[in-house]
């Protein structure tokens, strides 16, 4: 991954190769501005006397992991690759535990009241907190990248497949071999419709093939209503048999497949509320937003012979993807969303009984829990130099975690390298 570069007024310049950054740092022409993502600031340059190229942020939002790539526009060089792992389940669990504690407290401490319900309203565009956090994670990284890199546009994968390209595929007699790109859109459509598993044996996590329910040799068409997805053994096992011959003894399954084949995928199933909300938030940045479909992403990636990963998918989003992507010598920055701590002040035992209380302050002696620090301990059992994360205590004895072990350390030996920012770097 390239290194972000700022000029002496902290305006973003073109990212540079890590080797160049080392040279600049060694010659004392630059200083480290930030560790993650690695950013240097030049001491003898301003944006006015430098050549700056346009960059584009490309996003492939996922439910667990989102890929983000930054592409330098004219030459198609991927300068930055980031994979952000979200924390949906953690948030859900935390809210559930809060709810249980509140409920218990109200039952203990308040007089009886008549139940009130259906008396809450939600803002338009409301999303569950676990999904909201996903969007917040992505927006955080978009804003961060914009600070360090001259970004002029954003590309986002908005939908799995392009419905306008398919135009009512179940009814009109569209041939799925009409074009190479079209095949990718149809495959994504089928994946959404049939639930990413083999219809015959329910096998998950296998490469699935497009399967004709009525075989082509028996006059079966390429209409989407005649297509489904099957694993290779099932696809070959069925061959050109009739579906009734292939699944014998499972009338329920047969009925379900035939019924589902004729039903077009509901519009709602293809529309992902989180992605649309992300699209709206990205529009608020004021940058031009390009959107692409999952089918197009896959088509771009496959035709360029790029291996699948979240960040490579991101680099292939949208029609603006250049013919040639220079992405070879790149290692993504893997970050995990860990949040900014919690507001819970009252710790309980496993019965929900309050047993301890947390301090109100979040910082002590200039340190906060989660900061990445360098410890230089001169003497004692743990003498040496360490880099790790700290958990603060409200006494000058912090807990430093480094390399799987943790021990107490006095803050006078500590120096902040990177302030806690809600993400951990793998």
Strand duo 39-42 + 3-6: pairing: parallel
Nearer to Zn ion, 176 or 200 (CB): 200
**Does 201 engage in binding with Zn ion (CB under 5 A)?**
yes
How many CA atoms, within 13 angstroms, populate the side-chain half-sphere of residue 311? 22
Closest CB to Zn ion among residues 132, 209: 209
The CB-of-360 to Zn ion minimum distance in angstroms stands at: 58
Separation of alpha carbons 190 and 229, rounded Å: 7
Of 41, 40, 71, residue with least CA distance to 54: 71
Report 180-199 residues binding Zn ion (CB under 5 A). 198
Q: Does 229 bind Zn ion (CB under 5 A)?
A: no
CB-wise, 195 or 322, nearer to Zn ion? 195
201 vs 377 by CB, closer to Zn ion: 201
**Residue 234 makes contact with Zn ion by CB under 5 A:** yes
The residues that bridge with 337 in the sheet, in sequence order, are 423
The residue (of 203 and 391) whose beta carbon lies closer to Zn ion is 203
Q: Closest distance between Zn ion and the C-beta of residue 215, in Å? A: 16
Comparing CB distances to Zn ion, the nearer of 84 and 229 is 229
Taking CA atoms, 378 is separated from 219, 388, 402, in Å, by 82, 17, 17
Shortest distance (Å) from residue 249 CB to Zn ion: 16
Q: Three-state secondary structure along 329-346?
A: CCCCEEEEECCCCCCCCE
- 165 contacts Zn ion (rule: CB under 5 A): no
Asked if residue 200 binds Zn ion (CB under 5 A), the reply is: yes
Q: Which stretch binds Zn ion (CB under 5 A): 36-44, 76-84, 202-210, 318-326?
A: 202-210
Residue 360 DSSP SS3:
coil
Torsion, Cα of 20, 24, 25, 30 (10° steps): -120
Contact 72, 53 (CB under 8 A): yes
Beta strands in 101-217 (DSSP E): 151-159, 208-212
Told to check if 306 binds Zn ion by CB under 5 A, we report: no
Q: How far is the CB of 190 from Zn ion (least distance, A)?
A: 14
CB of 197 to Zn ion, least distance (A): 8
Size of the site for Zn ion (CB under 5 A): 6
- Cβ nearer to Zn ion, comparing 194 with 398: 194
Which residue's CB is nearer to Zn ion, number 158 or number 234? Answer: 234
C-alpha 258/C-alpha 228 separation (Å) is 10
Cβ atoms of 20 and 118 closer than 8 Å: no
For residue 230, the minimal CB distance to Zn ion (Å) is: 5
Please say which residue, 39 or 235, places its beta carbon nearer to Zn ion.
235
Cα 277 vs. chain centroid, distance in angstroms?
15
Could you tell me if 330 and 71 are in contact, meaning their C-beta atoms sit under 8 angstroms apart? no
Name the minimum Å distance from CB 195 to Zn ion. 13
Asked if 334 is part of the footprint of Zn ion (rule: CB under 5 A), the reply reads no
Write down the least CB distance from residue 384 to Zn ion, Å: 57
CB of 198 to Zn ion, least distance (A): 3
Binding flag, residue 203, Zn ion (CB under 5 A): yes
257 binds Zn ion (CB under 5 A): no
Percent helix / strand / coil, the chain, rounded to 5: 30, 25, 40
Q: How far apart are CA 403 and CA 186, in angstroms?
A: 48
| Chain residues in the site for Zn ion (CB under 5 A) | 198, 200-201, 203, 231, 234
């Amino acid at each position: 991954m390239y290194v972000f570069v700022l000029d002496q007024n902290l305006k973003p310049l073109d990212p540079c190769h890590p080797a160049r950054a080392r040279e600049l740092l060694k010659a004392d022409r630059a200083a480290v501005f930030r560790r993650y993502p690695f950013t240097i600031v030049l001491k003898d340059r301003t944006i006015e006397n430098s050549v700056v190229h346009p960059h584009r942020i490309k996003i492939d939002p996922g439910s667990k992991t989102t890929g983000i790539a930054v592409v330098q526009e004219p030459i198609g060089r991927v300068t930055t690759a980031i994979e952000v792992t979200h924390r949906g389940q953690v948030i859900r669990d935390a809210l559930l535990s809060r709810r249980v504690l509140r409920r218990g407290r109200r039952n203990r401490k308040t007089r009886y009241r008549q139940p009130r319900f259906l008396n809450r309203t939600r803002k338009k565009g409301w999303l569950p907190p676990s999904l909201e956090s996903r969007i917040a994670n992505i927006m955080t990284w978009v804003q961060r990248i914009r600070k360090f890199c001259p970004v002029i546009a954003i590309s986002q994968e908005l939908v799995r497949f392009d419905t306008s390209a398919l135009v009512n595929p179940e009814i009109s007699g569209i041939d799925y071999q009409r074009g190479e790109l079209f095949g990718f859109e149809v495959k994504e459509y089928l994946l959404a419709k049939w639930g990413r598993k083999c219809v015959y044996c329910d096998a998950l996590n296998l490469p699935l093939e497009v399967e004709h329910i009525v075989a082509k040799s028996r006059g079966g068409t390429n209409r989407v209503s005649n297509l489904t997805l099957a694993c290779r053994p099932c696809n070959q096992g069925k061959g050109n048999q009739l579906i009734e011959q292939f699944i014998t003894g499972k009338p329920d399954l047969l009925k379900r497949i035939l019924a589902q084949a004729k039903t077009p995928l509901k519009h709602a199933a293809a529309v992902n509320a989180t992605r649309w909300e992300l699209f709206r938030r990205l529009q608020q940045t004021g940058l031009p937003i390009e959107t692409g479909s999952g089918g197009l992403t896959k088509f771009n990636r496959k035709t360029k012979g790029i291996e699948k990963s979240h960040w490579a998918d991101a680099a292939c989003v949208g029609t603006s993807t250049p013919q040639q992507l220079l992405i070879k010598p790149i290692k993504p920055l893997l970050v995990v969303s860990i949040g900014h701590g919690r507001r819970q002040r009252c710790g309980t035992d496993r019965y929900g009984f309050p047993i301890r209380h947390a301090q109100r302050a979040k910082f002590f002696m200039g340190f906060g829990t989660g900061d990445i620090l360098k410890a230089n301990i001169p003497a004692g059992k743990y003498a040496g130099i360490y880099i790790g994360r700290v958990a603060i205590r409200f006494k000058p004895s912090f807990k430093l975690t480094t390399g799987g072990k943790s021990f107490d350390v006095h803050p006078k030996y500590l120096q902040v390298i990177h302030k806690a920012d809600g993400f951990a770097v793998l």
